[in-house]
Structure 1
């Protein structure tokens, strides 16, 4: 347990609670995670700045917290740090990962997922998790997408936000030009594309563009891609949700790239 005064500990809790809001996260350059999975990942990747836990959480997660400096907090303080219905009483304040688009592109990426105008945090977090699972080099959110470091997105990522670079770009048009200049084929997933995924040359490094769950990829953004691609379907479903489409496309790309 961290040897700080009650007043200082209370001030730290208040500062951490401000990270539940977008403005607070951007001002501090930090974010707040909750729960064993995310706190463990934060500690493992050395991005946890402060850890908070209730008495019950200290006992329950003793192995996870072994060697970590922990601020003991009350159940009332724990509720102020949580955006879930049933807080587990374990939190960490984390520095935002320092990767930039320049860094990612300088490393000659082979596979990148671009989430365009993705407003639903659960979908954004799931896309991050899929990208991590498929060995993607980065996830880039653009065109007013959700903040990837809000609580729901972090939970949906299941810790993958710490494992794969997650970046934000203000404008898809500029981003696509930069991706293309770095040698990536930019491919857009659309329902009406003439080219089937089966016919695409996936030996080239690829940046996949995925639109929002509700509206798909905007036609003007899709038109900027080098190629528009549809996932072939043989059953009765009219479409796939964005996570399913992303999983299929990234799996096929990753499998082909790994074969060399």
Structure 2
């Protein structure tokens, strides 16, 4: 059992928690909680850390799940686990998981892709919520500009509620070029934009398509918005001008899901 916060392995966990660069160098990320532990694909699970009290209660369950893979198990004292954890009330189990990587072609593949294209999103909770909602709505992949928040940020991971293991995504160095590539593949793009002429539910999303969602404060840049085939807007009542990025994305995704269910 590790009982000191000065332990090298504990210091490494803290660095993985705080620093994107360290996560990228090791090609791993951290997840916390029993649900995230149970859902992680065995081939991606590298290390498991448990608090002393949690292991006493759930040790048998943990050992049974870990039989499926080759991950290493380490026990930490409760105080050390608290130090390493990213949450105020830790659940008692933390995993080091191998990152997944996709190409633009892999994310956009399929008979009728439904994609989310995100530009400069900065809030980890928004990104995590979009990822989770995307899985629920049947989205086939997510494309992110290079300056979006890190999807492997611990706060983002928590918000995905496990969808990070299953939803294909790719960061692209040039979002404009990626959109041109989608157009070449026959994928129509719709920008969520206050300048939209049509309401979002007046368009046809049954064919291959992508929704463009911009930064929380400034929306889409003029360059990226200008590359969209169509602007769509979500009509507002009262004095509300627009919705939170994750909520707007959810409205669009589930409208596409509704149309596609009707078309089956």
Normalising to structure 2: TM-score of the pair? Answer: 0.87
* Distance in 2 between residues matched to 1:256 and 1:121, nearest whole Å: 29
Match of 2:89 in 1: 86
* Distance in 2 between residues matched to 1:123 and 1:5, nearest whole Å: 35
Give how far 1:178 is off: 1.7
Match of 1:48 in 2: 45
Match of 1:123 in 2: 126
* Distance in 2 between residues matched to 1:45 and 1:252, nearest whole Å: 34
Q: Summarize the Cα distance change of 1:132–1:60 in structure 2 as closer, same or farther, 3 Å threshold.
A: farther
Give how far 1:46 is off: 3.7
Match of 1:169 in 2: 172
Q: Summarize the Cα distance change of 1:179–1:238 in structure 2 as closer, same or farther, 3 Å threshold.
A: same
Q: Is the 8 A contact 2:112 2:207 kept in 1?
A: no
Report the number of matched residues: 254
Structure 1 segment 197-212 matched on structure 2, within 5 A: 197-212=200-215
Q: Is the 8 A contact 1:36 1:61 kept in 2?
A: no
Give how far 1:114 is off: 1.4
* Distance in 2 between residues matched to 1:63 and 1:248, nearest whole Å: 42
Q: Is the 8 A contact 2:176 2:227 kept in 1?
A: yes
Give how far 1:256 is off: 1.4
Q: CA RMSD in A?
A: 2.3
Matching of residue 113 in structure 1 with residue 116 in structure 2:
yes
Normalising to structure 1: TM-score of the pair? Answer: 0.88
Matching of residue 77 in structure 1 with residue 75 in structure 2:
no
* Distance in 2 between residues matched to 1:5 and 1:80, nearest whole Å: 12
Match of 1:190 in 2: 193
Mind listing any 5+ residue stretches in structure 2 that lack a counterpart? 67-71
